[in-house]
Structure 1
Amino acid sequence: MANTSASSLQFTEDCEATNQELYKLFATVVIVIFILALPLNASVLHLFIFKLRFWKSHTNNVFLFNLVLADALLLFCLPIKAYNFIQGRRRSGSGAVCKAMLFMLFLNRGASVAFLTVTSIDRYFNVVHPGRKNLLRALKKSPEISILIWLLLLPLTIPTMLKDFDCCRSHRHDDGGTLIKDVVDGLREAVFFTQILLPFVILVYCTVHIIDRLSKKTVGDKTKLRRAVFLVMSVMVVFSFCFLPCTVARLVLLCVRVHELSGSNEDTAVVAFDGLMVLSYMDCLLDPLVYCFCSTKFKAVYFANYFPFLVKGAPAALDNSRRNTAHQLRDNAI
């Protein structure tokens, strides 16, 4: 009984913010991300559903819609996360809220990574192997592959949907760890790291080969290849800025806790991990800006519908341009 009480006390201490002023700054950043990302993602979702009707498209619109949908899941979590930080806690004190938050956060992360990766692979085949038939090119014409991706993400999310994952208590010696606990901890951390590192390797491979294809093309129109390079490079920027830093920070935090280093080192590692996790929430803001708007056609439709005063020309010409651009966007890959 005493061991249980001690474990509960340690767990509570692990989830308390050691520097409350700094966590209030984290909360401010989270609120700013939420304020900027909410109207942006809402407008993009509205455009996909009511203007482009993505389900009728034979392009990457289906993948992009699911990417924005994944980012929308994260938006529901940000106000709660900001409130916890303001209260001086790293997570919610409610077990149900904590599990729901972790489920949404990691489902968002997994879906964002998956759809960014799938779309980059599709672009790789279109550019590097344009004449080769591939399964992805056939499947992307229907929503089945997107549904399959969401279903595959669910079992990968379950291992992370635990309280002690949020407070990073994996492989702690003071928990009286057993073999089963070590195996569960190892599996949970393996899911977390594989979910980021494996897609990153795939993205590097696709990027290198697309750039190489561009450098070898001496004749013909290079515009499509340049857009492809910009697209995959943009995805690399999102990964490098949002996902890799928090992954490295978690690895450092695990090393600090496994080797039982000094308390000050552990506090620093915890704050760094939480701060970089806040940075990872930027993906819901960067995905629409960097990925969707890398297409000039999509950008034209977006501005024509939501910011027509920024588009030069008469209203009649604008309406014709809007209709023509929408039709082109449905008929051509983004």
Structure 2
Amino acid sequence: MLGDRRNTTEWFRSVYEHVTLPAIYTFVFIIGLGANVWGLKSLLQKWKSLGHINVFLLNLGIANFLFLPTLPFLTAYYFMGNKWIFGDAFCKITRFCFNLNLYGSIGFLTCISVYRYLAIVHAVKAKGRITVRNSVAISVVVWLLVSAQSLPDMLFPKNSPNRTEKCHHTTSNEYVENYLKYSVGWTLTGFVMPLLIFLGCYGHVTLVLCHKNTINKVVKQRSLKLMFILILLFSVCYIPYHIFKNLSLYSRAFFFKHGKYPTWDKGVFTAHQISRGLVCLNSVLNPLVYLHVMDIPAQLQQLLQRFRQTFTRLFVSEYGSVPVAQTVSTAIS
């Protein structure tokens, strides 16, 4: 029975890690890089008109750019059958950049949630307190906290004694018990606490938006759309990853101590592998936040409308009617 489990697990690991995960990383690298470049360019163009929230949006973009350049190396690692050829130091740097991206994104999304909460619920009181200086100071504190939480991860070995070419995203089995304790504390401070702040802020914002008729309808719609984007990010990228990462670590520690896996290990292992792919999508979904704040959807609609007009002028319409350009020239002559 154990042999069947191991065969199934190894088959899934082989297919997922060597085919699916590199494909996800390639997709995230291409789409995420394009979306973030476009988003940050638009952010800088509208810097003055966005208010103090632009500081958090800029830092959110920086968090994405810390991770995206490492994806080609991780793609090569998994594509080559979990063989890391770039050195142990760069392995730890790569994993460190992933953690900075993950927990930096969570931190700045939380800051944006608090900002929107203050702007809607406590607009009068917060007007003089939300300044660029305060936003920069808060951003520095977020980076310091995220770095302090992530640095201990670099102290754990990322390879196995008998497989020095490995680059584990957690650590080897010999240190998994200590890593589990660290990971639980990291999850509580780096994820659970921000999640509770996010839920508290948007729970209150939702009540205010539903019961106050004085708030502009456009503001309501934009706030609810932003809340939906953030819920999507937490639900798809962050919550599954943290749950199944810690359960998988517990299962590995249980096996190392008792010589067997828990009965639920197979399902947790599969879910954890899938969540590792989903958590990387945050670099693709994060741009939706600052694109939404900058009202890029309206710009996209205008761009598409211009494209349709250009398309109509350049090509013959259906049923062989005369092109618009020809009609105009005939009318002029």
**For this structure pair, what is the TM-score category when the shorter chain's length is used for normalisation?**
0.7 to 0.9
- Which of 99, 102, 109 does residue 109 from structure 1 map onto? 102
- Partner of residue 61, structure 1: 54
- Normalising by structure 2, report the TM-score: 0.74
- Of the structure 1 ranges 23-32 and 114-123, higher mean CA displacement relative to structure 2 is found in 23-32
- Structure 1 regions of 5+ residues with no counterpart? 1-15, 314-334
**Are 1:84 and 2:59 counterparts?**
no
Deviation at 1:204, TM superposition (A): 1.1
Please identify the structure whose Cα radius of gyration is greater: 2
**Are 1:208 and 2:203 counterparts?**
yes
The CA deviation string for residues 40-85 of structure 1, in whole angstroms up to 9 with x for no partner, is: 1112222233x23x37863311211111111111111211111111
The amino acid that maps onto 1:148 is V
Deviation at 1:270, TM superposition (A): 4.0
C-alpha contact 1:127 1:228 (8 A) present in aligned 2: no
Deviation at 1:133, TM superposition (A): 3.4
Deviation at 1:279, TM superposition (A): 0.9
- Normalising by structure 1, report the TM-score: 0.74
The amino acid that maps onto 1:21 is V
Q: Structure 1 residues 307 and 59, CA, compared in 2 at 3 Å: closer, same or farther?
A: farther
- Of the structure 1 ranges 141-150 and 196-205, higher mean CA displacement relative to structure 2 is found in 141-150
Q: Structure 1 residues 68 and 263, CA, compared in 2 at 3 Å: closer, same or farther?
A: same
Deviation at 1:176, TM superposition (A): 8.6
- Partner of residue 46, structure 1: 41
User: What SS class does the counterpart of residue 137 from structure 1 fall into?
Assistant: coil
**Are 1:125 and 2:118 counterparts?**
yes
Q: Structure 1 residues 55 and 293, CA, compared in 2 at 3 Å: closer, same or farther?
A: closer
- Partner of residue 100, structure 1: 93
CA distance in structure 2 between the partners assigned to 1:176 and 1:144 by the alignment: 36
- Partner of residue 272, structure 2: 273
Counterparts of 1:161-180 in structure 2, within 5 Å, are 161=154, 162-164=156-158, 166-169=168-171, 175=174
CA distance in structure 1 between the partners assigned to 2:217 and 2:106 by the alignment: 28
Question: Taking CA–CA contacts closer than 8 Å with sequence separation of 6 or more, which of the two structures ends up with the larger relative contact order?
Answer: 1
The amino acid that maps onto 1:287 is N
User: What SS class does the counterpart of residue 125 from structure 2 fall into?
Assistant: coil
**Are 1:247 and 2:247 counterparts?**
no
- Partner of residue 19, structure 1: 13
- Of the structure 1 ranges 40-49 and 85-94, higher mean CA displacement relative to structure 2 is found in 85-94
- Partner of residue 3, structure 1: none
The amino acid that maps onto 1:285 is V
C-alpha contact 2:103 2:190 (8 A) present in aligned 1: yes
Q: Structure 1 residues 301 and 148, CA, compared in 2 at 3 Å: closer, same or farther?
A: farther
Deviation at 1:248, TM superposition (A): 1.1
Deviation at 1:31, TM superposition (A): 0.8
CA distance in structure 2 between the partners assigned to 1:88 and 1:27 by the alignment: 11
The CA deviation string for residues 174-211 of structure 1, in whole angstroms up to 9 with x for no partner, is: x499xxx84x6523441144311111111111121111
**Are 1:197 and 2:185 counterparts?**
no
- Which of 291, 294, 318 does residue 293 from structure 1 map onto? 291
| Percent identity (aligned) | 22
CA distance in structure 2 between the partners assigned to 1:34 and 1:18 by the alignment: 24
The CA deviation string for residues 10-46 of structure 1, in whole angstroms up to 9 with x for no partner, is: xxxxxx9973222212111211121111111112222
Q: How many residues are treated as equivalent by the alignment?
A: 287
CA distance in structure 2 between the partners assigned to 1:247 and 1:211 by the alignment: 26
C-alpha contact 1:17 1:90 (8 A) present in aligned 2: no
Across the aligned residues of Structure 1 and Structure 2, the Cα RMSD in angstroms comes to 3.3
Deviation at 1:255, TM superposition (A): 2.6
- Of the structure 1 ranges 194-203 and 294-303, higher mean CA displacement relative to structure 2 is found in 294-303
The amino acid that maps onto 1:67 is L
CA distance in structure 2 between the partners assigned to 1:19 and 1:187 by the alignment: 25
Q: Structure 1 residues 190 and 166, CA, compared in 2 at 3 Å: closer, same or farther?
A: farther
CA distance in structure 2 between the partners assigned to 1:36 and 1:111 by the alignment: 20
- Structure 2 regions of 5+ residues with no counterpart? 1-9, 159-166, 311-333
CA distance in structure 2 between the partners assigned to 1:44 and 1:307 by the alignment: 18
- Which of 125, 128, 137 does residue 144 from structure 1 map onto? 137
CA distance in structure 2 between the partners assigned to 1:17 and 1:158 by the alignment: 33
The amino acid that maps onto 1:163 is P
CA distance in structure 2 between the partners assigned to 1:65 and 1:21 by the alignment: 37
Q: Structure 1 residues 136 and 311, CA, compared in 2 at 3 Å: closer, same or farther?
A: farther
C-alpha contact 2:52 2:130 (8 A) present in aligned 1: no
- Of the structure 1 ranges 243-252 and 255-264, higher mean CA displacement relative to structure 2 is found in 255-264
CA distance in structure 1 between the partners assigned to 2:308 and 2:94 by the alignment: 41
The CA deviation string for residues 123-143 of structure 1, in whole angstroms up to 9 with x for no partner, is: 011111222238862356653
The CA deviation string for residues 145-170 of structure 1, in whole angstroms up to 9 with x for no partner, is: 32332233221110122334945458
User: What SS class does the counterpart of residue 276 from structure 1 fall into?
Assistant: helix
